[in-house]
Amino acid sequence: MKKITILICGVIICKLTFTQTRIHQTGTNNNVWITYNGDHKINEKWGLHFDGHIRRNDFLSKPQQLLFRPGINYHLNNSISFSAGYTYAYTYAYGIFPSPAAFPENRFWEQVQVKIPLQKIEWISRLRLEQRLVKTPIKNMQGVYEPGDAVYTNRYRLMNRLSIPLKGKTISPGSTYFTVMDEIMINSGKNIGLNIFDQNRAYLAIGYFFAKLGKMELGYMMQSIVRADGIRIEKNNTIQLTLNSTAPFHKKK
């Protein structure tokens, strides 16, 4: 994992150096994301994962994207877990740089996640690999844009998240906490455009741990997306309401 992290950082540095002379066109969107993240153990080692996202553009008035991601978790121990699964995403023609038409995407993904306690701070680091099949819109014989054939690319995602309780030493039921997160995404493969650097998500939020429901967060995210032409850059101001649940689907012994 360390070697992969170093490689990703090297690609980012090279990409930023290369693009310094490129003229960029930047636009801003205002979005709202409503998210559920669930990791539910079915026994001591195995569990089910599901996260679902309703993403809206122009605050809540227009659709941006729908995304559903089921998967399976294997817990090596209390700190390290491995996961794999499938993602379906449907992206609408939204915002300042809309695509010609809405289009679907199918993904397969694998990840490793590590939880690192640092005194009062809960540090979660995650590396996710994605195999993407995107049906980018193309113009048909009638001159109308519609989803084309699936184009295969890979993407690497590295996320780090730090959370700290506002009172006490741990985040437990009844705790209010503060969290910050950053995730970078790097494209690879022969079918990618001029955006090796795909996007970055910087997030901060205030959260409350409900005993039966899970961790509810209200936060702000700056999502920076580089489009395939390497010129257009989205700066998306995003209000995010998230429920994170780890309620087990089995009775603990």
pLDDT, tens digit, 9 for 90 and up, residues 52-85 = 999 999 999 999 999 999 999 999 999 999 999 9
**Is 17 a member of any domain?**
yes
Per-residue pLDDT tens for 95-121? Answer: 999 999 999 999 999 999 999 988 899
Give this prediction's pTM: 0.88
- The answer to the question of residue 20 being in a domain is yes
Q: Residue 180 falls within a domain, yes or no?
A: yes
In a domain, 253, yes or no: no
Q: How many domains does the chain have?
A: 1
CA distance 118 to 164: 10
Secondary structure of residue 93 in the 3-state scheme? coil
Copy the structure tokens of residue 238.
Answer: 């995003």
CA distance 108 to 70: 10
Q: Are 219 and 201 in contact (CB under 8 A)?
A: no
Structure token digits, residue 130: 């994605």
Report if residue 252 sits inside a domain.
no
* pLDDT score, position 17: 46
Asked if residue 179 is part of any domain, the answer here is: yes
We report the CATH number of the domain holding residue 214 as 2.40.160
The range of the structural domain enclosing residue 169 comes to 2-245
Asked if the structure places residue 50 within a domain, the reply is: yes
Encode the chain (253 residues) as per-residue pLDDT tens digits. 554 455 455 545 544 444 444 578 999 999 999 999 999 999 999 999 999 999 999 999 999 999 999 999 999 999 999 999 999 999 999 999 999 999 999 999 999 999 998 889 999 999 999 999 999 999 999 999 999 999 999 999 999 999 999 999 999 999 999 999 999 999 999 998 888 999 999 999 999 999 989 999 999 999 999 998 899 999 999 999 999 999 998 776 5
Would 251 be classed as within a structural domain?
Answer: no
